[in-house]
Amino acid sequence: MNFSFIDLFAGIGGLRLPFEELGGECVFSSEIDESASKTYEINFGEKPHGDIKKISAESIPDHNLLLAGFPCQPFSIMGNMNGFSDTRGTLFFDIERILKVKRPEWILLENVPQLRTIQKGNAFKVILDRLRKLDYFVHYKVLNALDFGLPQKRERLFIVGFQKNYNFSFPSGNGHKKYNLKNILENGDSTKEYEASDYIKEKRLKSVKDKNIFFPSVWHENRSGNVSIHDFSCALRANASYNYLLVNGKRHFTPRELLRLQGFPEDFKISGSYTKIRFQTGNSVPVSVVRSVAKEMIHSIKKNDVLPYVTSPNGQIEMEL
């Protein structure tokens, strides 16, 4: 299926990859972070445009699909959950102004699950109401990367919109192979430079002396200093403590492992210092989850199974499927 799309708040291209696989052509991208833009350019052969707030909607090419993993810091647990009172939260309105002018038939937005509940749900209601007033039939659901074959507990909110009332359902992930931490880990010399300090390793070992230790595993230290041992990684975070995740209690994830945790292909390249790489992967989306959502979207569009509705799209109730 041939279609065009734009990639807003593009990061390193986690939303773009699956839609290109399904026949889409990216006609415009935007990303403000320089390190992410460099990685994006290395992999896709184009440097994204900069700050979307400085780009007019009229200058953006026509497209069938708008993709946007708009900044989640205003809505995340790790932030202050200020929502639209945080200036970054207002970036949704840049998505809205582009939708008003370009009128793409389909949209896919991605954010953190907390977007639904902050400010007593008012911020999310604003988003849904504004999408509905633009004649989109809206579906939303929280999906976990663990259910899609990735050894990372990463929940993300996906919002899908169509200008037709397609019979669309989100993938459940139940048919995917169970995640396996061992499959993403590197061994040998490639991991040596990522060893934690002796002090950190000893401290972490003391913290788990009464716990069931197994290998391979990820030892996760939360903000309270409590350490848990899992056969998966807790969610990667862009600005997390350097030592909050340790493989087998001894080392940090390598850059390739970080990419694998997010489902990026083996030939995907990443640039910058290790700190920048952690930031880029921590800000990205689980590609395997996006791929499953993308396939369901394209399936619904191809099938063209349009459900009847009594009210206009402006009056329809958003659907959580």
**Nearest 5 degrees, angle CA 106-CA 108-CA 113?**
150
Catalytic-role residue among 10, 67, 72, 261: 72
Task: For residue 194, give the H/E element and its range.
Answer: none
**Burial per residue of 198-233, b for 16 or more beta-carbon CB atoms within 10 angstroms, e otherwise:** eebbebbeebbeeeeeeeebbbbbeeeeebebeebb
Known catalytic residue at 234: no
Cβ pair 227, 207 in contact under 8 A: yes
User: Dihedral, CA atoms, 296, 297, 302, 307, nearest 10 degrees?
Assistant: 100
| DSSP strands (E only) in 150-252 | 152-153, 155-162, 218-221, 227-230, 233-234, 245-247
The CA distance from 249 to 270, in Å, is 25
Q: Between the CA of residue 139 and those of 215, 288, 318, what are the distances in Å?
A: 40, 19, 6
- Residues annotated as catalytic are 72
